[in-house]
Amino acid sequence: MKKIIQFAIIAVLAFTFTQDTLAQNQSVLREAERITNDKFKVSVNTPKGAKVYAVKKPNAQMLKAIDQGLTDLFAVSRKNNYRNRLNYSDYSIFIGKADRTKDSQNQYSPDIAVGAAQYAGTDYDQGGFIYAAGMVISNNPMSFLIAEHTKNYNRVADVVRYEGEHLVLYHNDRRKYNETADHSRGGGHPILQ
Ligand SMILES: [Zn+2]
């Protein structure tokens, strides 16, 4: 009898956990869709197990570049003695449609337009919005947004590493996270050396 009750409790816990996770993932998805006005209909994993949500099926180079960015992130995190959340499967990456593909210097630079918020009036401000290479959607569960690339995949790896820095810091060094999270007060990437 005792065994059965324990089993029942475990089953209920597992069910509750699944429901919570689903609800959290749903709210992150809604937030990503709100920011981008995109619909993330495709969901795939990278070869190393990071979760990817995209408007259309990402190509192999895109997925490989995401893994490379996370590999670089984990290496520099370990170097700084950060140990929490260094698994590929801990990360969800949203690939949105690029709102521009060239920057003001005419360089290939797929970026996403997001509301200016705290960047209003700064050099980043384009008139109520800014162009971002990447953006954290949620610290927990860990999710961030990047733009679709069709070349220069090294830039994807860099952006993944950079956005990931905020998430690693949030879960390993809250003081440094607070000091570096808002680039409108100065500072940029890489944060971790
Ligand atoms: Zn940043």
In a domain, 190, yes or no: no
With cut-offs at 50, 70 and 90, classify the pLDDT of residue 46: very high
Q: How far is the CA of 3 from the centre of ligand 1 (A)?
A: 50
List pLDDT tens digits, range 52-67: 999 999 999 999 999 9
Average pLDDT, the chain: 92
Assess whether the previous peptide bond of 47 is cis (omega < 30° from 0). Answer: no
What is the number of structural domains in the chain? 1
pTM for this entry: 0.89
Q: Is the pLDDT of residue 17 over 80?
A: no
In a domain, 192, yes or no: no
Residue type, 186: G
Q: How far is the CA of 50 from the centre of ligand 1 (A)?
A: 20
Angle, helices 60-79 vs 153-172, to 10°: value is 40
Report the distance separating Cα 87 and Cα 99, nearest Å: 30
In a domain, 118, yes or no: yes
Q: How far is the CA of 166 from the centre of ligand 1 (A)?
A: 7
User: Which of 63, 87, 62 has the alpha carbon at shortest distance from 73?
Assistant: 87
Structural domain containing residue 145:
2-185
- Check residues 32 and 184 and name the one with the higher pLDDT: 32
Q: Is the pLDDT of residue 12 over 70?
A: no
The pLDDT, as a whole number, for residue 174 is: 98
List pLDDT tens digits, range 23-43: 888 999 999 999 999 999 999
Q: How far is the CA of 172 from the centre of ligand 1 (A)?
A: 16
In a domain, 145, yes or no: yes
Contact 180, 191 (CB under 8 A): yes
Q: How far is the CA of 131 from the centre of ligand 1 (A)?
A: 13
Q: How far is the CA of 59 from the centre of ligand 1 (A)?
A: 25
Q: How far is the CA of 21 from the centre of ligand 1 (A)?
A: 26
With cut-offs at 50, 70 and 90, classify the pLDDT of residue 2: low
Per-position DSSP letters for the chain, written without gaps between them: -HHHHHHHHHHHHHHHHHHHHHHHHHHHHHHHHHHH-----EEEE-TT--EEEESSPPPHHHHHHHHHHHHHHHHHHHHTT--TT--GGGEEEEEEPPSEEE-TTS-EEEEEEEE-GGGTTSTT-SSSEEEESEEEEEETTEEEEEE--SS-HHHHHHHHHHHHHHHHHHHH-HHHHHHHS-GGGS--S----
Q: Is the pLDDT of residue 78 over 90?
A: yes
The pLDDT, as a whole number, for residue 125 is: 92
Report the distance separating Cα 66 and Cα 9, nearest Å: 39
In a domain, 191, yes or no: no
List pLDDT tens digits, range 110-140: 999 999 888 999 988 999 999 999 999 999 9
Percent of the chain with pLDDT over 70: 91
List pLDDT tens digits, range 83-108: 999 999 999 999 999 999 999 999 99
With cut-offs at 50, 70 and 90, classify the pLDDT of residue 10: low
The pLDDT, as a whole number, for residue 76 is: 98
The pLDDT, as a whole number, for residue 123 is: 86
